[in-house]
Structure 1
Amino acid sequence: MTIRNFSIEYDAINSQNIFTNGDTINGRIVVEVSKETPIQSLTFIGKGSAKVRWVEHHHKHTRYYWSDEQYYDIKQHILRAGTEFIAQGRHVFPFSFKVPNGKMPSSFKASTGRIVHKLKAELKQSMKLTKTAKAHFTFVSKADMDIAGLMEPQHVCIEHNFKSCGSGTVTMNVYTEQMAYKADETLNIKVEINNQSTVSVRPKFTIYRKQKILLPRQRIIITSKVLQNLNKADIIAANSRVTVTKTIPLEKLPGPICGVAKNEYQLKVCLKPTRKFAEQRILVFRDNSELVPQTLAQLALMNNGMNRQPEYF
C-alpha cells in the first residue's frame, strides 16, 4: 500500500478544547507514503451540519423519518487539480480555518440525531478511490444576550391545603437569580417554605430535557430526566418555616437550537410528604422554557408573581 498514513490534526486553543464563532483553527494534514506517489489533488474542508433520524412502528408497518441541515461547507485547495508527485516519507500540509460567524447550533449528539462540526481532508489519485480523513471539533456558539428579560430575577409562589393526609396549609416561594444561564454556570435556587400544617415535607429538585425533532410532517417530542436532587436531610417539620438553597451545575445541559432539533429544559420543584402513607407529590412548581440561542440553558419560571396554580399528583 503506497499511502501508509493519511490523517488530519488540529491544535487546541483552550483547556476545554472548544471553539466558538470567529475562532481560528490551525492544524495540519499528514500524508505518509512508502514511495514516490502521484497526487491529483488535496483538499481541506470545514463543515457543520445537523441530521435527525426517527423510526416509528405501526402494527405491521414501519415508517422512517429524517431531515438534514447544513450550516457551512468551506473548502481550501492544498494541492490543486493536476498530477503532482510527492517523495517517499512523511509530508505535513498546514491549514488555517476560521469558524464562520452567524447563528449556528453547538455540537450535540443524541439517539435521534446529532449536530456535527468537523474538519475533513480529501486526497484524490488518478484511477483510485478518494481517500478521506476527518476530525470532529467541539463547537459552542456564542450566547445571544439581547433577548429581553433573560437576566432578570425570577419568582413564583404557590400554596397547598392538606385534606386527605393531614390538615393545614403549606406555602412555597421559589426564587432564581436570573432566567437564562450559560452552559458553564451554576443555577442557584432558593425555596422559602412556610409549613403551617401537620405534615412534614421534603423538597425535591428535578431538571427535565424535552427534545423536539422537527420533521416536515411531524413533530417528535422526547422527555428525559437529566438531573435530580433529593436530600433526605432537607426535612421541613410541621408548623415550621425554613429556607432551602440548592446549587445545580449546568455543564451537562447545553443543547441545540436549529431547524431540525430543539432542546427545552424544565426545572421542577416539588414537596413530598415524609409519611409513607402519603407519598404523593404536592406543590409542584414546573417551568416550560426553551433553550436560548445558542448556548444558554434557559431555566425560566413561566410567569412572575402569585398567578401560578399548583399541580397535584
Structure 2
Amino acid sequence: MFGQVVKNFGINLNALNEKNTVSSGDLITGHISFDLTKQTKITSITMTVTGRVHVHWSTSGGGGRKRRRTRRNFSGKLEYFNFSSIVLAENSASGVASRLEPGTHVYPFTCQLPQGNFPSSFRGVHGQIVYSLTVSINRPWHLSKSFATELNFVHHINPNQPELWAPLSGSNSMTVCGLLCTSGSVSMTVSTERKAFHPGETVKIICDIDNASSQTVTPEVKLQQKQVFYTQNRVHSNTFFKTLVSKTGQPISGHTSDVHAEIMVTIPLLSVPSISNCSILEVEYPIKVSLKVGACSELTVLVPIILCDASVNAPPPSYL
C-alpha cells in the first residue's frame, strides 16, 4: 500500500566537492522529495545519520556433518555515531498528524557530522565501514517506511607530517644454490621517493640489484591492498591480499652487478585511502618487489606506502 501512495522518493545531497565526499565535522545539506497519489496523513518524517563498522568471517574443517560441527564464526562491530533529527513533525499544539495533499512535496534538511577520528568508507571481503543517511516516513496505524543513501566518507590525513614525505627503502639478499655447489648471492634494495601517495598518482619504484649468481633473475612489482579484519577483542584476525597492479621488469643476467631499474606503477583512481584508525578493520598498501630466481626461488622486499586523499599534494614541510 505504501508504494501505491508514495512515489518517486528521493534523497538529494548538495555536493561539498567534485568527488561528492564528506568528512568529519562537515555540514550536510540537501532535500527530500516524493509524490503522493492521494491525501495522506503523516505523523513525522525523521532523518538518522549513522557511522558503523561490521566484520564477519567463518572457518570450517573437514566435510559433511563434521564440517558443520567445526565451523567457527568470528565478528566485530563498532558504532561511531547515531543521531536523528526531525524533517517534518505533527502539529505540536494539537498533536494531530499533518495532512498532505496529492502532488510533489519537497523538504530541505541540514545536519552536521560530528568531529572525530573516523575511518574512511570501505567495503571489503569480510567487513565494511558504512556511513548512511536514512529518512523514515511515519504514518498513523502504519509501519514506518525508510529510505537510505550511503555517504562517501573520507578521513583526511594531515599532509604536514614529515614522515609522509621521507623516502622509503628496504633491502634483502639470498644465496642461490646450484646443482652441486653454491651458485652465488643475489641482493636487492628497493626505494620510493616518499611514503604518501594518492589515487591516480604514479609511483616510481627504484630497484638496485646485484646478481652474483649464475641464474637470470627477473624483477616483478605488485601493488597490493592488504585487508585485515579483527574480532572485537582483537584475539582473532583474518587477512586478505588483493593485487591492484602488477608489472614485470627486464631480466638480469647472471654475474651482473650495479643494475639500476626503475618501474612505474600507477595507483588505481578508485582505491580507498589507507585505514589505520579502526580497531577491527585495517587497510594497507604494501608494494611487493620480487626477484624470481630460477624455477622455485624468490627474493622479496616489501615497501609499505600510505594512500591518502588528494589533499596530500600540499607542499611538503621544509627539512632543516
Give the TM-score taking structure 2 as reference length.
Answer: 0.79
Aligned: 1:73 with 2:82 = yes
Counterpart position of 2:280? 260
**2:170–2:189 CA contact under 8 A, matched in 1:** yes
The alignment of Structure 1 onto Structure 2 pairs a total of residues equal to: 289
**CA offset at residue 152 of structure 1?**
1.4
Distance change in 2, residues 1:168/1:260 (3 Å): closer
Aligned: 1:109 with 2:109 = no
Q: Distance in 2 between matches of 1:255 and 1:52?
A: 17
5 Å matches for 1:221-236? Answer: 221-231=238-248, 234-236=250-252
Residue of structure 2 aligned with 1:23, choices 6, 26, 47: 26
Any idea what the Cα deviations from partners look like across 1:251-285, whole Å, max 9, x if unmatched?
42535341321223332211113xxxx22233311
Counterpart position of 2:188? 172
**CA offset at residue 220 of structure 1?**
1.9
Q: Distance in 1 between matches of 2:218 and 2:72?
A: 45
Distance change in 2, residues 1:250/1:22 (3 Å): farther
Unpaired runs of at least 5, structure 2: 311-320
Q: Distance in 2 between matches of 1:185 and 1:100?
A: 31
Counterpart position of 2:41? 38
5 Å matches for 1:100-179? Answer: 100-145=114-159, 149-164=163-178, 167-179=183-195
**CA offset at residue 147 of structure 1?**
5.9
Give the letter for the 1:51 counterpart: H
Residue of structure 1 aligned with 2:231, choices 189, 193, 215: 215
Counterpart position of 2:99? 85
Give the TM-score taking structure 1 as reference length.
Answer: 0.81
Unpaired runs of at least 5, structure 1: 297-313
Give the letter for the 1:71 counterpart: Y
**CA offset at residue 145 of structure 1?**
4.6
**CA offset at residue 11 of structure 1?**
2.9
**CA offset at residue 223 of structure 1?**
2.6
**CA offset at residue 211 of structure 1?**
2.6
The runs of at least 4 aligned residues of structure 1 exceeding 6 Å deviation read none
Residue of structure 2 aligned with 1:56, choices 51, 55, 59: 59
Q: Which has the higher helix share?
A: 2
CA RMSD of aligned residues (A): 2.7
